Chain A
Amino acid sequence: MNDPVKPPATPDADAPWPGPFVRYDLVKELVVALGAVIAVVVALAVLFSSPDEPPVTIQSWSRAAPADFLAIAVTELNRTSDVATYGPPYNEGTGSVQKIGPISLQEAAGVKVPIETARDYVLEPLHEVPGAPRLRAALDAYEAAPARLQEKWAANYEKALPEARFVAGVPVLPPGRYGPVEPMMASLLAMGQSGALDGALLAGGHRFYATDYTKPLLFVSAGEYFEKLAEHQHLLGTQWGMMNETGSFPGQVWLWLFSFWYQVEPFKSSPNADALIFVLMGVLSLAFICVPFIPGLNQLPRRLGVYRLIWRDHYREVET
């Protein structure tokens, strides 16, 4: 039922609408919208389902790519891995510390999720292996050795690893001065392939309940295997992965602007890209919230004129 009053050509946004009204049932609108959305959601769920790629476990990684597993494990032991040199919140390293100008919010926040890679990823899990006198002797020899010798053994092992063969699942390296690192790594690989290392890293050997996957995730994600899987699923940063989903499903497409900055200079090649983009997005988000109060921007819609399409019936009526 339409009101016979003609709408005003210059309505006052501060005053009540003096023009005609139309009947409108808000509750009916919500109920109809809810029914339509449920129907569309059910249809999409039936037709397309949803992705659920199984997670990578240390067991699946060490079975599928044992050399990759060992390459990471020995750098964790030698404290030269990405995690070992990362910096806050995991340790005091500087390898991944980012700055905004002279300020590092990362360092200011401090080490809150401490990880000591040699102890957490290698030594403590190996100490949990029951029996195994050869492993016990290797651990004793390693821990009794001076740090320089420990580093030398691990560095030699890392260097020779590309030439390793696997005989019945056991890594065999060319003859070299690896000290106790060789049997330690062989035991860690066996532990990884059995699934025991997944549990050891999650619960730390001292707890029953656990929900913090920081240690196993950082370990697994350091491997080339993990990255290759992500690349196959077009999830890398260079593939706009932030807004993608596994398979051909839509992901977090609303993060397109966030993802965009990583594709362009100066962010693309900046060692501080994450920090700079976070700050930039923070400023843009604040501007987005404050659009009504920013001179010029709050006048933009009138200049753009898209409103004439939205209210075309209204303008047709008042302008003729």
Chain B
Amino acid sequence: MWTTKVRERAVREMPPEKLLPDRQPSYVSSWIYVFGVVTIAAFVVVIASGVVLGMKGPEWWHLTGLGHFVNSMHLWAVEIFFFAMVVHLWGKFFMGAWRGGRGRTWVTGAVTFLVAIGAAFTGYVSQQNFDSQWIAFEAKDGLNAVGIGSFFNVANFGQMYTWHVILLPTVVVLLIVGHVLLVRRAGVVPPYAARLAKGADDE
């Protein structure tokens, strides 16, 4: 039965001790490792505040104090999300974190960053204020210039809001899940060779 094979492979590839280990190599002792989990934590707050905004609707976030407060939380969670993700990415770059067959981990992280930019952008043009008007006005020229504007109309609130609250967040969630599973399966990349070991090359 194929379902049995799927289950057996999933357990083989991702045993509990890899999925949620109770220990990490001794070199995992820098503050830089915190930024990956901070990115995920900020994303949780982005989604939670976004769900509330989506359930209540634009009038609520523009015209009520509580709605504006939740909108403020959404904004600041997004800023923290990107800050933490950029620090995380630079950290992983400086570690050469793709070594040892971990290339797909880098690729999923980089694609997540780019898709998240799209998710944020569609949020900015969905605010329904002067900022979203201006961003849509400016962005349309770039998108039109490469033919994207014919299918992705930044002045169409219905289209942009759907991309923002459903399509792009779903892609980001799937990418983050895949990224974390890849990290857990391959483990955290070890340090480069120490300077004591002349000629050592761990590439």
Contact = CB atoms under 8 A, between A and B. Distances in A.
Contact of A17 (B146, B156, B190): B190
Interface in B111-134: 111, 114, 117, 120-121, 124, 127-134
A53 B130 contact: yes
Given A24-B21, A217-B155, A230-B134, A310 B95 contact: yes
B4 interface: no
Nearest to B117: A254
Contact of A252 (B101, B114, B121, B193): B121
Contact of B77 (A37, A109, A312): A37
Given A96-B144, A218-B155, A22 B107 contact: no
Contact of B142 (A212, A226, A278): A278
A33 B40 contact: yes
A312 B144 CA distance: 49
Given A26-B21, A42-B73, A289-B107, A89 B144 contact: yes
A221 B137 contact: yes
A305 to B, nearest CB: 9
Interface string B136-173: 11100110111111110101111101000000000000
Contact of A33 (B38, B144, B193): B38
Contacts of B127: 52
Contact of B111 (A56, A251, A289, A319): A289
B76 A212 contact: no
A158 interface: no
Size class of the contact patch on chain B: 35 or more
A218 B157 CA distance: 14
Chain A CB within 10 Å, residue with most, of B93, B144, B189? B144
Interface stretch (A2-10, A65-73, A132-140, A177-185): A2-10
Interface stretch (A142-150, A166-174, A294-302): A294-302
Size class of the contact patch on chain A: 35 or more
Interface in A223-280: 226, 229-230, 233, 235, 237, 241-242, 245-246, 249-255, 272, 274-275, 277-279
A162 interface: no
Contact of B22 (A25, A109, A291): A25
Interface in B12-29: 20-29
Contact of A98 (B100, B145, B161): B145
Contacts of A50: 68, 71-72, 75-76
A214 B150 CA distance: 12
A274 B137 CA distance: 13
Contacts of B177: none
Interface string A47-76: 011111111100000000000000000000
Contact of A9 (B34, B129, B137, B196): B196
A232 to B, nearest CB: 10
Nearest to A304: B94
A105 interface: yes
Given A7-B26, A21-B24, A106-B147, A310 B91 contact: yes
A89 B24 contact: no
Contacts of A212: 153, 155-159
A55 B129 contact: yes
A112 B27 CA distance: 55
A12 interface: yes
B147 to A, nearest CB: 3
B194 interface: yes
B181 interface: no
B157 A213 contact: yes
A36 interface: yes
Contacts of B120: 252, 254
B146 A113 contact: no
Q: Which 4 A-B pairs have the closest CB atoms?
A: A13-B100, A211-B158, A109-B147, A292-B98
20 contacts: A7-B26, A9-B197, A10-B200, A13-B189, A17-B190, A19-B25, A20-B26, A37-B42, A50-B68, A52-B129, A112-B150, A113-B150, A214-B155, A218-B155, A241-B134, A301-B94, A306-B94, A313-B29, A315-B191, A318-B194
